[in-house]
Structures are given as structure tokens and as C-alpha cells.
Amino acid sequence: MSSKLKLVHFTYSWISSGVSSFLSSITQELTDDFDQTIVVWDNRGSIFDEEIRNAGVGIHTLCKRRAHGIVDLPAACLAFRFYLKKHRPDIVHLHCSTSLELKMLEVAKQERVPVRIAHCHNAGFEGSRLAKYLKKEIHISRKEDYADAPTLRFACSEDAGKWLYNDGEPFTIIKNPVNVERFLYSEEKRNALRAELGLGDSFVFCCTGRLSEQKNQKLLIAAFARYHQKRPDSELLLAGDGPDRGALQRQADELGVDHCVHFLGTVPDIGAVLSASDAYVLPSVYEGFGTAALEAETNGLPCLLSEAVSKAADVQHNAIWLSPQASAVLWSDGLDIVHSRNRYDGLPAILASGFTKEKVASHLARLYHSALEKIDR
């Protein structure tokens, strides 16, 4: 019988995302001390599934039918209750971004799970102006309902913590881990991908992340189209997939840059995309942190970032910052600035920053053990 502490990571939706990247990095580092399972309601799969399972960490799906988003919350709570009754974990670590999801920790509290952790990974909503207004009103109103459910509160940034928790509620910043080896610059990968895509000697910008309103690739394509008129030896790589892909492809076609905007889809090796590029752009409307920018700096790329990205993600302290509400003209000027900058060695700054997966996992392990020790006293 295992003497390891039983740790359940719960996230409502399982896709290739910042949360799945976070869990891939830290679960592999925690296997010696913790018997871990990732429990999800809606499982759409992620690019990290194989390496997570190879580390001996299970991914358990609660929903046995087609999921319907947050409207499934009552069913998700019931299924999670049955899971907790059967497995009796020592710790439930909830990875979320809205107050409604804290209901899962209320269930854990009712099932007497001793350590219940809320961990906010984002700070905003997508949708129409009305939809965002209604979502935010519900989000604010439900914060108080589940205020006592967590025994610990984590967040990836100050903004994310203020987004999820009530005023005055203390929370701990947990750095988003980077798998350094995965994102280091590789000349071999650069040459291979540039040859595959026919990039030649072009100057290549890239943006990684879900193709969505949040990541704001619409603004990037508009800015790039203006920039490409001045510098036709430029290309743009978009690594990721999402609901806006069709609209973005139509936009690129309408602006006459469909031949030089490459939609790569979900890419298992983001490090190869970064290595093949010459500059990185992230124009997000909102972010909890902005780990993708940290990955780009690990690779040594000059970065043009939205002011919605946490300043802590700029470990090199040399990014160019613009408002996500700024015009495509200004963002095109920003592309011109990062074009003038050279690659650098990203390794020293990332190692010194505390964002490595080893350091983040070690920090979490200490917090887990400390929380359990306080309960045992």
C-alpha cells in the first residue's frame, strides 16, 4: 500500500492550455512524494497527455457524455463527490479562473478533504460585451458564497488573485513553471522547420496560444499586414488552434497576407516554432500571467507584449509593451522595433528567475506539507 500523500488536481476543462502545461511540468516533479491524479470534467485531450501518463500520473474523466460547459456544474459536482468518497485524497488542488468553479472545493469541504486549494490561472472572460458583463456580475456575486471553501488560495499573479478572491483574502503567488529544456533555442530545429515551411531568409514573427478573442490574433494579423507592405520579406507563424481560426484565416486572406501567415494548428514542440522565429508577439486582451512570453524569452526571442501580460513574465527586462486596445498602426510600429533587436541567450535569466519547473514544484511541495502539518497539530 502506498505511503505517499494522495493529491488530486481538478480542472474543469482539459485541453492544450496553460493549465495543462502547468500540470505537466509540476506533476512530473512531485511523483516521489505524492500519489497524484488529474481529475477533469470535460476531457478534450492535450498535447501533454502522454508525458503525464508516462510519469505515472493518471488523468480521470468524470463526464461520460458530451459536455456542455459550465451549465454542467451540478452534474460535475455530483460526480466529483462520488470520486472523493471513493478515493479520499489528502489534498484537492483546484485549477480555475472563475468563482463558480470554487463550488468544487465546497464539495471537497463537505467530503472532509483536509487541504483544499484554489489556484487562479486567468483574469477575464470572452464573449460579447453583454455576455462579459453578465459573466462578471455572476463571478463577483458568487465569490462570497464559496469564500470558506479553500484552505489555501494560490494565484499565478497579483491580477489573477484579485480577480478570483474577495478583497482582503490572502493568497500566495505560485510562479508558472517553464520546462527549460523544452524551450531552449535549437539551431537544428530552426533550420528544419524553416525548411519545412519554406521560410528561407525571411524575418519571422510568431505568436503561440489558443486562437481566440483573449489572445487577440485579430489585432496581430491587422498589424502584420501593414508591416508586410513595408517589409515583404516577413512571415508570421501562429501556433495553436481555437474557435477563431476560421475568422482569422478569412482575415488574412482579405488583407492579402494569407501566403505569409502560417496557421500551424496545435504543435507538440513549441520550442521548434520559437527557434524558427526571430521575434515573438503576444497581443492578449487579458492574461492571468502570460507564460507563453516567458517561454519565448527562454528561447532568446525579442518580445512585443500586451500590457495585459504580467510584467513578471519579462525576466529579461527588455520587452516592448503596448496596450491591447492600441491601433494596428501602433502594433505595426512595434513589430518594426522588435525587428531591429537581436536574439540573446535566454538561459541565465530564466535559471535565476525561479520559474523553472524544479523550483516551482519544490515550492508547492513545501506548501502542501506545511498545510497538512498544521491540520495534524
- Per-residue pLDDT averaged across 66-90, rounded? 92
Check residue 124 and give its pLDDT.
83
Tell me whether domains 5-177+356-376 and 180-353 share a fold.
Answer: yes
> In Å, how far from its chain's centre is CA 250?
26
Q: Which CATH number fits domain 180-353: 1.10.287.3510, 1.10.357.10, 3.30.70.1380, 3.40.50.2000?
A: 3.40.50.2000
Spans of all domains in the chain: 5-177+356-376, 180-353
Mean pLDDT value across the chain: 94
Instruction: Yes or no: say if 217 and 243 are a contact pair by the CB < 8 Å rule.
Output: no
Query: Is pLDDT above 90 for 3?
Result: no
Q: What is the pTM assigned to this prediction?
A: 0.90
pLDDT bin (cut points 50, 70, 90) of residue 1 is very low
User: Whole-angstrom Cα distance, residue 370 to residue 117?
Assistant: 13
pLDDT in tens, 127-149: 777 777 777 887 888 888 898 99
Check residue 297 and give its pLDDT.
97
CA atoms within 13 A on the CB side of 33: 14
Return the sign of the alpha-carbon dihedral for residues 14, 19, 21, 27: negative
- Per-residue pLDDT averaged across 257-286, rounded? 97
SS3 276: helix
Residue matched to cell numbers 523550483: 359
Check residue 145 and give its pLDDT.
87
pLDDT in tens, 223-267: 999 999 999 999 999 999 999 999 999 999 999 999 999 999 999
Fold exhibited by the domain 5-177+356-376? Rossmann fold (3.40.50)
